[in-house]
Amino acid sequence: MASQVYKTLAKIVGIVLILGGAVAIFAGNFTGGFIKSQLEDQAVVLPTEEAIDAQLESGRIQQEDADALRPVAGEAVTTGKQAEIFANHYIYAHMKAGVAGAGLPEGTTFATVGGITSEKTAELTEEVAADNPDVDEATVAKLVQAEINDPMTEYALAEEVASLNDLRYSTLLDGNTLRGMLLNAYGWGMIGTIATWAGIGAIVIGLALTAFGFLYKGRKDEVVVREDRVDHA
């Protein structure tokens, strides 16, 4: 009786695992296909070998970045893994190079550059106000912004602020945005891959349990009857 219960449970659990595994595989394949189609629409192409060498020589990327990029050099970004490589070993490498080129410490972010820019702008405002003592604060603020926007400005601080603004928005903000989208694709790609393999594992286990439930016959009880013969003389 107990053997029959185990066989029934094995059939039920096995069928559930098979169905669940099929759903997981479908979800994994759907995720991978969706990511591929979305990345193809962006038409992002990884740098070629020549471009990698040039970037490495100019210091825009480091050796570890070049090593990660070479296996996929020149390929279109269509998978989560390619997206992760492009995000972390090309875009992020350029962000770090931009920070280093500006003479800022490693680890400087969009937010910290904003703080530095505010300090420099305050110093510039003091200089402009000193040079224009007869104007009000609102006019000084307009003059400061004009100097920052003027590529021919004579204020060194205005040039510095303009450069920091370019680093902050064109390099760090845009870089963070692109990295976020690409790493999001990578994350979902990992989930899709895990779901696919989990589905395969569930189906294998489910098939084994189902086969056990249908095919296992159990052990037959053996009853040995021993007869004692008594000889009467």
Q: In the predicted model, what is the mean pLDDT of residues 8-15?
A: 87
Q: In the predicted model, what is the mean pLDDT of residues 89-104?
A: 92
The pLDDT assigned to 27 comes to: 93
Burial of 47 (0-12, 13-18, 19+ CB in 10 A): buried
Quote the CA–CA distance of 172 and 116 in Å, as a whole number: 14
- Residue 219 — very low, low, confident or very high, per pLDDT cuts 50/70/90? low
CA distances from 162 to 144, 148, 151, 159 (A): 11, 6, 9, 5
Burial of 55 (0-12, 13-18, 19+ CB in 10 A): buried
Quote the CA–CA distance of 83 and 92 in Å, as a whole number: 12
Interval 143-162: pLDDT, tens: 999 999 999 999 999 999 99
C-beta separation of 55 from 61 below 8 A: yes
Quote the CA–CA distance of 216 and 214 in Å, as a whole number: 6
Q: Helix (H) and strand (E) counts for the chain?
A: 9, 0
Q: What are phi and psi of 76, to 5 degrees?
A: -75, 140
E strand or H helix that includes residue 29:
helix 2-42
CA distances from 74 to 49, 51, 57, 70, 71 (A): 7, 9, 18, 9, 9
The pLDDT assigned to 10 comes to: 84
Interval 160-193: pLDDT, tens: 999 999 999 999 999 999 999 999 999 999 999 9
Is residue 76 helix, strand or coil? strand
E strand or H helix that includes residue 167:
none
Residues 36, 39, 40, CA angle at the centre, nearest 5°? 80
N-terminal to C-terminal alpha carbon distance within the chain: 48
Interval 105-133: pLDDT, tens: 888 889 899 999 999 999 999 999 999 98
E strand or H helix that includes residue 25:
helix 2-42
pTM listed for this prediction: 0.77
pLDDT of residue 221 exceeding 50, the answer is no
Q: DSSP for 107-154? A: T--HHHHHHHHHHHHHHHHHHHHHH-TTS-HHHHHHHHHHHHH-TT-S
Q: How many residues does the chain have?
A: 233
Interval 30-86: pLDDT, tens: 998 999 998 988 888 999 999 999 999 998 999 999 999 999 999 999 999 999 999
The pLDDT assigned to 130 comes to: 92
